[in-house]
Amino acid sequence: MQVAHFSQNTLGRDIAVGDIHGCFTKLKASLKRIRFDASKDRLFSVGDLVDRGPESHHVLQWLDLPWFHAICGNHEELTWRRAIGQPIQEVDHRVHGGLWLDDCTSDEQELIAQRLQALPLAIEIETPLGLVGMVHADFPYDDWQHIYSDRFDAHDRHVCMWSRDRYVTGYDGMVNNIRALVHGHQTTHKMRQLGNVFFIDTGGWLDDRHFTLLDLKRLVAL
């Protein structure tokens, strides 16, 4: 699936979280701090659920939660590709936090690969003030509607999961036809905004950092 669309949440909050990287217990503590209510709130992950942290093997439990939704990050791609025996040659998954996969049985690896490969490239969420999109790393166009174009190709998908160009160059042009676009991937000391693009991976998976939880209705960190 390329884009997963979510209607407006009229009961509770919609929250985006930066890269989790197998630190689900720490994420639970962050959700408790903001009094996350699983009966009405929804949590949206910008990807990179796995690798580096100690609890990557819990990823399937989280993907089964009805209030948790995620897109595919580059670490999901690294994981599912290696799990099916087609690793990305340019990047050694084990060196980048992927040793946990070797401790899973072949059946577990197969299921993990199926679930991660099935994650959407992007999510869009309706809010009272307009549509909010989520893509893991970057977006190669200044118009959100390009993601629906027949010309949106494999290179564009690669940019969405791997690129750091917008952040590195400080490009602050607006992405049209969307209220805001939310990325992870690039670890920052605090949330950074460029135009209407928000970078929210503040390294919550590191011992001395915290998860940024972004209220998607108000576009403020909680």
Nearest to 125 by CA among 16, 2, 1, 11: 16
Domains and CATH numbers, the chain: 3-221 (3.60.21.10)
Do 26 and 17 form a contact (C-beta atoms < 8 A)?
no
User: How sure is the predictor about 85, in pLDDT bands with cuts at 50, 70 and 90?
Assistant: very high
Per-residue pLDDT averaged across 85-94, rounded?
Answer: 96
50-67 pLDDT per residue, tens: 999 999 999 999 999 999
97-136 pLDDT per residue, tens: 999 999 999 999 999 999 999 999 999 999 999 999 999 9
Per-residue pLDDT averaged across 26-49, rounded?
Answer: 98
203: left (phi over 0), alpha (psi -120 to 50) or beta: left
Residues ≥6 apart with Cβ < 8 Å to 154:
none
- Amino acid identity, residue 161? M
Mean pLDDT over the full length of the chain: 97
User: How sure is the predictor about 1, in pLDDT bands with cuts at 50, 70 and 90?
Assistant: confident
Alpha helices in the chain (DSSP H): 24-33, 59-63, 74-83, 106-117, 154-162, 165-169
Vertex 122: Cα angle to 136 and 98 (nearest 5): 45
